[in-house]
Structure 1
Amino acid sequence: MLLREKMENHAFSNSEKAVIDYILEKNVLIENMTAKEIAQATYTVPSTLIRIAKKLNYSGWNELKEAYLKEARYLQSHFSNIDANIPFKDNDTMMSIAGKIATLKKESIDDTLSLITHDDLQKAIQIIRKASCIHLFAVSNNLLITQEFKHNMSRIRKPVHIHGLQNEIIFNATLASVDSCAMIVSYSGETYVLEHIAQALNHKNIPIIAITSIGYNTIARMSQCVLRICTREKLYSKIATFSTDSAVTYLLDVIYSCVFALDYKKNLDIKIETSKAIETGRFSTVDILKEDEF
């Protein structure tokens, strides 16, 4: 759930509701306002803002303000022309559809890039670096997308175990070794079975890296590291998961590349030598595809 939605739907007192309505109306304009100034504008007192923050599970007004502004700026940026849910209409030509899907995917990647922070990415890579293996949990489309990540990581000798059997994944989570780590990919962050997996992993103190949407959700709350993806799609009312698929694929590619870079020369040598050995029968008459001699 977005913070804005939590603010709109939470049960507040009348004085707290007046502050909430003011914040939602002013949006990013509250950036340079102090708690005292907002209180004066709403005929309340600064402690009202602190109570609101506490009710929304923030340590204080400044932390709530920072989270609200970050979300508000995100929601104002990108996707000015393409609807992530219905990116094309029934009267669009084939080439128009092709152009709109390309734009949507490009914007989804740019959007996800804007949500990546150095500290969060570094934390995720360090968790993976220290782990003996990665247990990866996802459902539906996200489960399919993770296969390429597993393939890439296996080529640099970092084992990834994808758990896809619905009746077995909670059991598998309970068997994960304490020196491993986990990645949970969930757009909503509220998938019931993945919540149970997170509980099992937390019980064993296995660090979780969550790949999920912006806003407050259960999977993010239960994870030690959270990487956010483009958040523009509704849960059901859409043609396909074009935007989410592109965002998850991009973020997994970034993670793989950063792990690769931890030992760049060694991993590059391994990748090239093993590929040469496996793909000896491949050739091309097109110059751009031909390999240079090493």
Structure 2
Amino acid sequence: MNLIEELQQEKKFTFNERLIIEFVLAHAERVLHMSIYELAEATSSSTSTIVRLCKKAGSSGFKEFKIRLSRDLELHYQNIRNIDANMPFRSGDSDIVVAKKIAQLTEESIQSTQILLTEAELNKSVDLLMQAKNILAVGVSNSFIRLTDFQTKLLRINMYIHLVHLQPEQFYLAANATKEDAAIIVSYSGNTAETINEARIFTKRGTPIIAITSNLDSQLAKYATVVLRIPNNEHTDFKVSTFSSQLSIEYILNVLYSCIFNRNFEKNYTSQKNTPISILKF
């Protein structure tokens, strides 16, 4: 059993020792650089209490305790895997552990999204966007924010996406669309009322739809010409945030931008390189 697991066995320690343990687990990296006197002061305890704690945890003293803490802390960080997208961190996690868990969630979300991406779906999506007379995009809340970033990226290579910032007015994008256009609709659930309404109208207008969603059985997926699927990891009533789904959506949009850029790499590279940058001088 490593030191972190030893310290988490509450019944083994007294009330005062558990107070010290709480501090150690919450500020582990800081403790590595503290003397026993500094730790005693920080925890309003005595050095003798700290020494007893160290021995109960299987160390001969505070020096060996810190050596084990350093080693096992690194192992603990390396074993952070399979992060819960709904609750990626827990009460009591130190700030650095929260940071490492969010980093791991980011990596896992992107990897799982990439696995779901097929060459055929990606090629078809890029072809539709490259051939479209107009690109129209629909999304709600955080998904809309991801689309505005996508819009900004494409502007740099002289492509424009039509977005309506008053989201209830997105209806007009669909109502005026044609067969020569292409629509991107982003909805994690695929059943958001606003996006389904627009998808229905796009379909009636004959406009091909690129859907980014986690639900292949959703209404949005049924209307779509092509579906770029994202993982369905967020499903509880309570979430800390929509970290995973938004990471996946952003990744898909970044891939689309990169593929579009790459189709005319030299032209787009030259265009960006020669674009003047305005500098505000005081």
Q: Does the 8 Å CA contact 2:188/2:213 hold for their aligned counterparts?
A: yes
Secondary structure of 1:254's match?
Answer: helix
Shift of residue 205, structure 1, vs aligned partner? 0.3
Q: Does the 8 Å CA contact 1:133/1:181 hold for their aligned counterparts?
A: yes
Which residue of 1 is the match for residue 219 of structure 2?
A: 218
Shift of residue 165, structure 1, vs aligned partner? 1.9
Give the Cα separation in 2 of the matches to 1:244 and 1:118. Answer: 21
Shift of residue 193, structure 1, vs aligned partner? 1.3
- Whichever of the two has the greater Rg, that structure is 2
Shift of residue 164, structure 1, vs aligned partner? 3.6
Which residue of 2 is the match for residue 167 of structure 1?
A: 168
The answer as to 2:257 corresponding to 1:249 is no
Give the Cα separation in 1 of the matches to 2:100 and 2:236. Answer: 24
The amino acid that maps onto 1:198 is A
Which residue of 2 is the match for residue 123 of structure 1?
A: 124
Which residue of 2 is the match for residue 278 of structure 1?
A: 277
The answer as to 2:130 corresponding to 1:96 is no
1:118-145 per-position Cα deviation (integer Å, ceiling 9, x unaligned): 0000000110111022100000111111
The change in CA–CA distance for 1:235 and 1:123 in structure 2 (over 3 A counts) is: farther
Secondary structure of 1:226's match?
Answer: strand
Shift of residue 172, structure 1, vs aligned partner? 2.5
Q: Does the 8 Å CA contact 2:213/2:229 hold for their aligned counterparts?
A: yes
Q: Does the 8 Å CA contact 1:198/1:208 hold for their aligned counterparts?
A: yes
Q: Does the 8 Å CA contact 1:128/1:134 hold for their aligned counterparts?
A: yes
The change in CA–CA distance for 1:236 and 1:133 in structure 2 (over 3 A counts) is: farther
Give the Cα separation in 1 of the matches to 2:247 and 2:173. Answer: 28
Shift of residue 281, structure 1, vs aligned partner? 6.5
The change in CA–CA distance for 1:225 and 1:83 in structure 2 (over 3 A counts) is: same
Shift of residue 279, structure 1, vs aligned partner? 4.5
Root-mean-square deviation (CA), in Å? 1.7
Which residue of 1 is the match for residue 157 of structure 2?
A: 156
Which residue of 1 is the match for residue 232 of structure 2?
A: 231
State the aligned residue count. 202
Q: Work out the percentage of aligned pairs sharing the same amino acid.
A: 36
Q: Does the 8 Å CA contact 1:137/1:164 hold for their aligned counterparts?
A: no
Give the Cα separation in 2 of the matches to 1:180 and 1:160. Answer: 11
Give the Cα separation in 1 of the matches to 2:239 and 2:259. Answer: 32
Q: Does the 8 Å CA contact 2:215/2:221 hold for their aligned counterparts?
A: no
1:20-69 per-position Cα deviation (integer Å, ceiling 9, x unaligned): xxxxxxxxxxxxxxxxxxxxxxxxxxxxxxxxxxxxxxxxxxxxxxxxxx
The amino acid that maps onto 1:109 is I
Give the Cα separation in 1 of the matches to 2:204 and 2:175. Answer: 9
The amino acid that maps onto 1:278 is I
Which residue of 2 is the match for residue 240 of structure 1?
A: 241
Which residue of 2 is the match for residue 8 of structure 1?
A: none
The amino acid that maps onto 1:267 is N
The change in CA–CA distance for 1:280 and 1:164 in structure 2 (over 3 A counts) is: closer
Shift of residue 80, structure 1, vs aligned partner? 5.6
The change in CA–CA distance for 1:281 and 1:167 in structure 2 (over 3 A counts) is: closer
Secondary structure of 2:105's match?
Answer: helix
Which residue of 2 is the match for residue 136 of structure 1?
A: 137
Which residue of 2 is the match for residue 194 of structure 1?
A: 195
Give the Cα separation in 2 of the matches to 1:89 and 1:137. Answer: 34
Q: Does the 8 Å CA contact 2:181/2:207 hold for their aligned counterparts?
A: yes
1:201-247 per-position Cα deviation (integer Å, ceiling 9, x unaligned): 01110000000004311101100010001220126421001101111
Give the Cα separation in 2 of the matches to 1:91 and 1:84. Answer: 18
Give the Cα separation in 2 of the matches to 1:262 and 1:172. Answer: 27
Q: Does the 8 Å CA contact 2:168/2:194 hold for their aligned counterparts?
A: no
Give the Cα separation in 2 of the matches to 1:236 and 1:178. Answer: 39
The amino acid that maps onto 2:268 is N
> Is there any run of 5+ residues in structure 2 with no aligned partner, and where?
1-79
The amino acid that maps onto 1:237 is F
Shift of residue 177, structure 1, vs aligned partner? 3.6
Secondary structure of 2:216's match?
Answer: coil
Give the Cα separation in 1 of the matches to 2:92 and 2:215. Answer: 33
Which residue of 1 is the match for residue 85 of structure 2?
A: 84
Secondary structure of 2:240's match?
Answer: coil
